[in-house]
Structures are given as C-alpha cells and as structure tokens.
Amino acid sequence: GIDYSIQPFESLYEVYEEIGSGQFAVVRRCIEKSSRAEYAAKYIRKRRVATSRRGVPLEAIAREVHVLQTLDKHQNIISLHQVFDNGQHVILVLELVRGGELFEHISERERLSEEEASSFMHQILQGVKHMHFNSIAHLDLKPENVLLLSKNRQHIKLIDFGLSRMLTHAEEVRDIMGTAEFVAPEIVNYEPLCLATDMWAIGVITYILLSGASPFLGDTQQETYNNITAVDYTFDTEDFSGTSDLAKDFISQLLLKDARKRLTVEQSLAHPWIAPQ
Ligand SMILES: Cc1ccc2c(c1)c1c3c(c(C)cc1n2CCCN)C(=O)NC3=O
C-alpha cells in the first residue's frame, strides 16, 4: 500500500501551469509553501469502478509509486518527494527538471553529433542500469520520457514509470503496450517481456538521435508493428551517410528479434561507441 501524506495537497503546495498531460495524468508545476521549492505534481486519475475504462487502477498506481521509491535517489532518475490522495486523483510530487524533453532538443537540431548522442545514451544507460539492477523494466522508454536537467547542459533524467514493472520470476508480464514506434517484437507478439525489452528501445532511441528518422515507423500502427516483428530497418538512407560503423554496430546489436541475443545494459555501457574514450 501507499503511505499518503495526511494533510491535503492544496494546503501544502501552490499549483501553477500545466507542463504536460497524458491519457490519465496531468502534470503541473507547483511550489511547496514551507520550502518554496519547485516540483512537478503528477495528477493520476483513479479508476472508480473496476469495469470502467477511465482512470488508473489503484494497484497500477501503487506499482508506479513502489518503483519510484525503490529507485530512490539516482542522478539519472527523477525522484519522488511526496504522495497525496485527494479523492479523485493520486498526486505524485516529483522532482522538477527545467530542460524539457530530449525529444524537443532533437527536433530543434534535426539530429545530434555522435559525441552528443553517445553522451546522452551513456546517461540513459546509467539510469536503465539502476533499474535493471533492481529487476525493474521501464517498458516505455522513448525520447519523450527523457528530460534534460537544463537546456544547455547534457544531464538527463528518466521519467514516467507508469508502465514499468518489477520483473520477478513469479509473474509473467505480457500485457504492456507502450508507444508503437518503440515497442520490441515480444510486445507486439504478446510474448513474455524482460529487461531486454528496454534494450530494444535503447536501440530505437539511438537510431533516432543519430538520424532524426524512426527505424520502424510505418504509415499505420499495423505497418509499424509489421516492420518491428520483421525487424525491417536499414542504415542505407542518406541520414546515416556520415555515421560511424561503431555506432551502427551498437544499434544492430540491440535491434535483434531474439531478446536473449541483445546487449545487456552492462554490455552496452562497455561497447566502444558508449564507453568514454
Ligand atoms: C520542464 C518540463 C516540461 C515538460 C514536462 C516536465 C518538465 C515534466 C516532469 C515530470 C513529468 C512526469 C512530466 C513532465 N513534462 C511533460 C512532458 C513529459 N513527456 C516529472 O516527473 N518531473 C518533471 O520535471
């Protein structure tokens, strides 16, 4: 169960502009009255009735809170400050980072230099390593869930653990569906998921950072899924003309259909394209 704060959220925080929204969550900037510190308040709508399709079931919210509390303080993972329940929502008070999404940073630049891309991936891998050491898979890794600490600095934080799961050997997880472009073949085929499912997404993110193109994106979601299960992608577009063979080798050792053959997070951190020169 979640240990909520007793006092109402609104009595302890001033709430400001909305900074993001998702299917069942809205994120707003807020300030803690006592400390004047700024945070991100993530309002997660609670599912009232089990058969309803609106809102998030309490056990799923409890999972996200447990994951955040387990991961605790890591320089590449957003930290959880407090949790409230105001009846309709569970409110997660999360560390606020100012730089916004890595995604915006790329789209401004179209694509990044290999040094920049390698540095971002190194940090994302540090955060994923902390998760995998705790047997937690993110299962929704994508550039929108990677935030920059500040615009010009390269320090990143992983956010949004709404789909992440503790992959114990007890229960098999098959029912996760992240964002089509980034999901691994085992997700499309509803096969058991594993930590290597995140490593596939690492390959997709690296491909996008270096080329500005998305490797499996089709005109429809079904076409995207077909491209993924066929592992149908190429480097021979003009986007990759200047990219090193080392970078392509890194990506091709992650975008493998057999999850057991993909680089683990430790092997990725030791790959010459990532390991600090
Ligand atoms: C400066 C800025 C801009 C947009 C932000 C955030 C911060 C942000 C944050 C968080 C979440 C869950 C979503 C957020 N969003 C929404 C977009 C995330 N895909 C969060 O936990 N801390 C943030 O700073």
Q: What is the mean pLDDT of residues 79-103?
A: 94
Locate the ligand 1 atom nearest the alpha carbon of residue 21 and give its number: 16
Lowest-confidence pick of 96-105, 120-129, 250-259: 96-105
222 C-alpha to ligand 1 centroid (Å): 29
Q: pLDDT-derived band of residue 2, with 50, 70 and 90 as boundaries?
A: confident
User: What is the tens place of the pLDDT at every residue in 186-216?
Assistant: 999 989 889 999 999 999 999 999 998 999 9
Three-class SS state of 160? coil
Which residue's alpha carbon is nearest to atom 16 within ligand 1?
20
Residue 238 has pLDDT above 90, yes or no: no
Q: pLDDT-derived band of residue 226, with 50, 70 and 90 as boundaries?
A: very high
ipTM of the complex: 0.96
Task: Give the per-residue pLDDT at 22.
Answer: 85
d(CA 20, CA 29): 9
d(CA 5, CA 160): 21
Residue 169 has pLDDT above 70, yes or no: no
CB neighbour list of residue 182: distance below 8 Å, 6 or more residues apart: 140, 141, 142, 200, 201, 204, 205
Q: pLDDT-derived band of residue 148, with 50, 70 and 90 as boundaries?
A: very high
Residue 171 has pLDDT above 70, yes or no: no
Task: Give the per-residue pLDDT at 276.
Answer: 75
Task: Give the per-residue pLDDT at 175.
Answer: 72
Tokens 């630049």, located at residue = 109
d(CA 194, CA 138): 10
Q: Indicate the top mutation candidate among 64, 98, 147 to test ligand 1's pocket, ranked by most ligand atoms within 8 A of CB.
A: 147
Q: Indicate the top mutation candidate among 31, 82, 94, 159 to test ligand 1's pocket, ranked by most ligand atoms within 8 A of CB.
A: 159
Q: Which of 39, 41, 149 is nearest to 98 (CA)?
A: 149
Q: What is the mean pLDDT of residues 53-60?
A: 91
∠ CA 157-162-163, nearest 5°, is 105
Locate the ligand 1 atom nearest the alpha carbon of residue 25 and give its number: 12
Task: Give the per-residue pLDDT at 277.
Answer: 59
Residue 181 Cβ inside 6 Å of ligand 1? The answer reads no
Which residue's alpha carbon is nearest to atom 3 within ligand 1?
100
Q: pLDDT-derived band of residue 162, with 50, 70 and 90 as boundaries?
A: confident
d(CA 64, CA 219): 32
Catalytic hit among 3, 72, 140, 219: 140
